[in-house]
Amino acid sequence: MRQKYFFLLLLTIPFFASAQKRKYSNEFLNIGVGSRAFGMSQSVVASVDDVTAGYWNPAGLTSMRTNSEASLMHSEYFAGIAKYDYLGFATAVADNTAVVGASIIRFAVDDIPDTSELIDGDGNINYDRVKSFSAADYAFIFSYARKKTKAGDKRSLSAKRNENGLSYGANVKIIHRIIGEYGKSYGFGIDAGAQLKKGPWTFAAVGRDITTTFNSWSYNVDKLSTVFTATGNEIPKNSTETTFPKIILGTAYKPVLKGNFGLTTEVNLNLTTDGKRNVLIAANPVSIDPTFGFELDYKQIAFLRGGGGNIQKSTDFDGHKAYTFQPNMGVGIHIKNFALDYALTDIGNTSDALYSNVFSIRLEFGK
C-alpha cells in the first residue's frame, strides 16, 4: 500500500521542476496556525492579538496580553499520513516599544518506503534493500513589530493593547523543502502587515510574499535516473519556483456588550495575484476569496468560534451548478496564563467531509 505513495511522489517531482511559475507554490504555508484561526475560517488578520500573529499578521504581536508568549500545535491530515506542526515564540524588546518573534512550521509525510532499489543488479527482489524517507516542508519565520506611540511612553505593550492607533510589522521567511535524497529546495520571502484600531473597529492589511518568494530546487540526478528512465519520465533539472504576492484585507468589529459576554466578528478578503482561481470572484490576474468568522467569549475565559470560507462554484453529475462553502467551528478556554483551543476544520473537499481535529496551546509569561 505504501509503495504507491513513493511512486506517486516521484511523479510529482517533474511538476515542480518543469515550470518556473506555479499557482500553488509553497501551498503548505496557506494552511495556517492556531486553533482559534482555524475555528474562525482564517478570518483573523485584524483581530489576532497573540503569538500566532507572527504568522497571520506580524502587527498583531503588539497586542499580546503579556510580555512573552509561546504556542504550539500538532495536527494530522489524510488519516494520519501527513503531519503538521507549529511552534512559535514572541517577546517584547526595546523597553516594551517593539516585539520580536520566531515561528517554525513543518508539514511532512514520513516513513515513505523507497523501493527504487528493491531489485538488485542480478534481477532478484530483495526487501532488505527497501529504505524509507520523508517528504517534508519547513518554514522558519522571523517577525518584528512596533506600535506607534507617543515619545517617552514606557508602559508595557499589554497596557496599550486596546488603545487606538497604528501597529505595523514584517516577517522574513526561510523555506526548506526536501524529498528524501531525491530533491531539495531553499526559498526566501518577506511579509508585511498593519493594524489600525479605531474604537470597536480594527482595520488590517497583510502582504504575503510581497517581493515574490523564490524557491531554488536541486535534484539528485544519479538517484533519479534509474527510476525515471524505467518509467519513461523526464529527469528533472535544477530550477527556480516562484510564489506570487497575496494581499489580505480584514475588518474586525468588537461591540461593547452588557454583562460578562464579548463578541468579535471579522471579514477578510484574500486577493491572489497568480491568475484565475475557483473562488467567489474569479478573475485574471487577481481573484478574491472572502472569509468570515466570529468569536463569542464569556469573561475572556470560555470561547465559542465559527466561520466560513472557501466559497466555490461546483457542478454535480447532472450538470447543475451551485455554490459551496466550508464551515468551521471551535472552542477555547483561557485560565490565567494558559490557553487551550480546539477547532473542527477541513483543508480538503467539503463534499467528502475530510474534517480534521486541531488542538493548540498557548503559554503566557510575565505581566
Instruction: State residue 52 phi and psi, 5-degree precision.
Output: -70, -10
Q: Which of 185, 146, 190, 183 is nearest to 168 (CA)?
A: 146
CB 137 within 8 A of CB 108: yes
pLDDT surpassing 60 at residue 348: no
Residues 84-102 have a mean pLDDT of: 91
**Strand, coil or helix: 280:** coil
What is the total count of domains within the chain? 1
Range with the lowest mean pLDDT among 60-64, 78-82, 156-160? 156-160
Q: How confident is the model over 68-82, as pLDDT tens digits?
A: 999 999 988 777 788
CA dist., res. 38 & res. 261, Å (int): 22
Instruction: Specify burial of residue 271 (Cβ count, 10 A radius: 0-12, 13-18, 19+).
Output: middle
Instruction: Specify burial of residue 167 (Cβ count, 10 A radius: 0-12, 13-18, 19+).
Output: buried
Which three cell numbers, joined as nine digits, stand for 7?
Answer: 511512486
Banded pLDDT at 10 (limits 50, 70, 90): very low
Banded pLDDT at 2 (limits 50, 70, 90): very low
Q: Which of 11, 25, 14 is nearest to 241 (CA)?
A: 25
Per-residue pLDDT, 224? 66
Banded pLDDT at 354 (limits 50, 70, 90): low
pLDDT surpassing 70 at residue 363: yes
Per-residue pLDDT, 229? 65
Percent of the chain with pLDDT over 70: 84
CATH assignment at residue 170? 2.40.160
Per-residue pLDDT, 160? 73
Per-residue pLDDT, 325? 83
Region of residue 310 (phi > 0: left; psi between -120 and 50: alpha; otherwise: beta): left
DSSP state letters, 80-120: TTEEEEEEEEEEEETTTTEEEEEEEEEEEEEEEEE-TTSB-
Per-residue pLDDT, 209? 92
Regarding predicted confidence, which is higher, 349 or 355?
355
pLDDT surpassing 80 at residue 162: no
Region of residue 174 (phi > 0: left; psi between -120 and 50: alpha; otherwise: beta): beta
CB 330 within 8 A of CB 32: no
Q: Please tell me the pTM assigned to this model.
A: 0.83
Regarding predicted confidence, which is higher, 7 or 29?
29
pLDDT surpassing 70 at residue 7: no
109 CB-near residues (< 8 Å, 6+ apart)? 5, 9, 81, 82, 83, 134, 135, 136
Per-residue pLDDT, 57? 97
Banded pLDDT at 242 (limits 50, 70, 90): confident
pLDDT surpassing 90 at residue 334: yes
Per-residue pLDDT, 130? 78
Percent of the chain with pLDDT over 90: 48
Buried b (16+ CB within 10 A) or exposed e, 276-307: ebebbeeeeeebbbbbbbbbebeeeeebebbb
Which three cell numbers, joined as nine digits, stand for 138?
Answer: 519547513
Range of the domain at 340: 3-365
Cite the DSSP H helix spans in the chain: 3-18, 35-39, 53-56, 221-231
Dihedral angle over CA of 255, 258, 263, 264, nearest 10: 20
245 CB-near residues (< 8 Å, 6+ apart)? 207, 208, 209, 210, 211, 212, 273
Per-residue pLDDT, 335? 94
CB 289 within 8 A of CB 272: yes
CA dist., res. 171 & res. 54, Å (int): 7
CB 342 within 8 A of CB 359: yes
Q: To which residue does cell 480584514 refer?
A: 250
Which three cell numbers, joined as nine digits, stand for 54?
Answer: 507572527
Cite the DSSP H helix spans in 114-241: 221-231
